[in-house]
Amino acid sequence: MRRINVVQGDHLEYLRQLPDNCFDIVYFDPMFRKPREQSSSMAPLRPFANSNPLSPDAVNEARRVAKHRVVMKENRFSQEFKRLNFHTIQGGRYSPVAYGIIHKVVADNEIP
């Protein structure tokens, strides 16, 4: 956890300020497009959360900034993965949550 850097602010503005390949991974955890209403722990936070969908511009900036991959958490069967070009989807067989992954091509001598 010591290597994780959390920044509060507008994600797209922040990403645009960063140099290419400056983070190993960019991770998005936006509010689900179709909320999981049974998640009682999220209910008090919903009024304060940014419920706007993640934009293709933000994903493109994340691809530029990430050395290895861009990851997005979303509902398992969400159309957001397709809309934002996350082609690899991973998650537990019975979990309602999945992770879309965009892998960047790395040089032969690098470990992703």
Determine the 3-state secondary structure of 99 from DSSP. strand
Q: Residue 110: is its pLDDT beyond 70?
A: no
The residue with tokens 């010591």 is 2
**19-40 pLDDT, tens digit each:** 999 999 999 987 766 666 666 6
Q: Sheet of 88-90: strands edge to edge? A: 23-28, 66-75, 97-103, 88-90
pTM for this model (two decimals): 0.81
Q: Residue 109: is its pLDDT beyond 60?
A: no
Scanning the chain, the segments in alpha helix (DSSP H) are: 11-17, 56-65, 80-83
Cα–Cα distance for residue pair 15/45, rounded to 1 Å: 24
Cα–Cα distance for residue pair 13/87, rounded to 1 Å: 25
**39-88 pLDDT, tens digit each:** 667 667 767 676 788 999 999 999 999 999 999 999 888 899 999 999 89
Give the pLDDT of residue 9.
85
